[in-house]
Structure 1
Amino acid sequence: MTLDDALAQCPVVAIVRGIRPDEVLDHAAALLEAGVPGIEVPLNSPDPIESVRALATEFGDRMVVGAGTVLTPERVEAVAQAGGRIIISPNTRPEVIRRTVELGLDPAPGFATPSEAFTAIEAGARHLKLFPAATYGSVHVKQIKAVLPPEAVVWAVGGVGPDSMAEWWAAGCRAFGLGGELYRAGQSVAETREKARRVVEAARALR
């Protein structure tokens, strides 16, 4: 599944920071069952490449799978070899973005300012992750959207949850990366499923 296909179904990517390979498939199944078709394994999780590989093998045709906190081109290559499709970063590093595009994957670099946004776009990114979103606020998005090209897809990530998604959507965001609102290390699969249902309900109301 492609990133655009997943976001068309539900504009949410789950950030499962801290998850282990031996539990990732059960939590991913719960997310997918609830209607979340995107999952990001941050690279500062235990054995993250193994989790990406397992997810891509089991759910790659039904979920868009990738990694977060990707900081170097070498890590991009490792994620690609594991079957990941999306490369999400907290920062704007052109060489990471360019390598992602070269490998046919979708980059979603982190940005805060117009300069960072245009640097990312020039390197080949179309998806732009405002991070941490809560620090800047939805008005920040509305102002930046005025100068971005129409094909740019702005994500709100960091301090965003189901109760605030409508505000960010109204400002122009068209995707969300949700961490603790969906998954915290050590929580049960049932809790993941219940959180995901609440998030998907909020996302459907945006349409």
Structure 2
Amino acid sequence: MQENKLVAILRGIQPTEADDHAVALCDAGFRYIEIPLNSPDWQQSIRQTVERFGERAMIGAGTVLNVEQVDRLAEMGARLVVTPNTQPAVIRSAVRQGMLVCAGCATATEAFNALDAGAHWLKIFPSSAFGPAYIRALKAVLPPAVPVLAVGGITPENLGDYLQAGCAGAGLGNDLYRPGQSAADTAARARRFIAALEAAS
């Protein structure tokens, strides 16, 4: 389940929509689904998605900013924590509670601080502002076994460039899901990303 490191970011999704989009993503081959905490009624969306799709995908939250939020997520059974920044206390708390942590960072200092706190994956954000060449250079000093994900501006057309630069996967936002779009649209977009991943493999 965990070899395909494409993370679907459902920012802005409503609880009434979550099931249909989760089905579309799982059926397309996604195994990681993130519902950012600045989404409406995120507690309900995450709880129900964990309950209904937790066996098909690793469900969790993005834009996790503090330890209190980590505790709430653990109570819901969330297994994935994605941060926008490098906050050691948040990372340590999530790791201690058995969650997979993908920590946001931009520099080598932030990346190593995240790893020192126990982060499992690193999220280079915003990747589109840095480009594949920057990530390739950053990876040269990082432990080779640490998965690095490109997040921010990733499309089916440029996904391969980031994978060739050494990324293990990517977090996919607006080019996969925008609030209000249909589940059929999400399914079609998800299939294009899976096809791009397979073409780059």
- 1:37 counterpart residue number: 31
- 1:108 counterpart residue number: 102
CA distance in 2, matches of 1:121, 1:11: 18
* Letter paired with 1:197: R
CA distance in 2, matches of 1:100, 1:59: 21
- 1:159 counterpart residue number: 153
Is 2:67 aligned against 1:67?
A: no
Alignment equivalent of 1:195, drawn from 186, 189, 199 = 189
Q: Deviations over 1:54-113 (max 9, x none)?
A: 111111111010000000011011111111101001100000000011101011111000
C-alpha contact (below 8 Å) 1:11/1:203 kept by paired residues: no
Is 2:11 aligned against 1:17?
A: yes
What are structure 2's unaligned runs of at least 5 residues?
A: none
* Letter paired with 1:123: A
* Letter paired with 1:70: V
Q: Deviations over 1:102-148 (max 9, x none)?
A: 10101111100000000000000120000000011111111111111
- 2:142 counterpart residue number: 148
C-alpha contact (below 8 Å) 1:65/1:86 kept by paired residues: yes
C-alpha contact (below 8 Å) 1:90/1:111 kept by paired residues: yes
CA distance in 1, matches of 2:100, 2:179: 26
- Aligned CA-pair RMSD: 0.8
Give, in angstroms, the shift of residue 181 of structure 1.
1.2
CA distance in 2, matches of 1:83, 1:104: 10
Q: Deviations over 1:7-39 (max 9, x none)?
A: x1x221100000011110111001111111211
- 2:169 counterpart residue number: 175
C-alpha contact (below 8 Å) 1:92/1:111 kept by paired residues: yes
CA distance in 2, matches of 1:186, 1:204: 28
Aligned length: 201
CA distance in 2, matches of 1:140, 1:45: 30
CA distance in 2, matches of 1:200, 1:151: 23
CA distance in 1, matches of 2:126, 2:43: 24
Alignment equivalent of 1:81, drawn from 75, 82, 89 = 75
What are structure 1's unaligned runs of at least 5 residues?
A: none
CA distance in 2, matches of 1:23, 1:66: 16
CA distance in 2, matches of 1:132, 1:55: 27
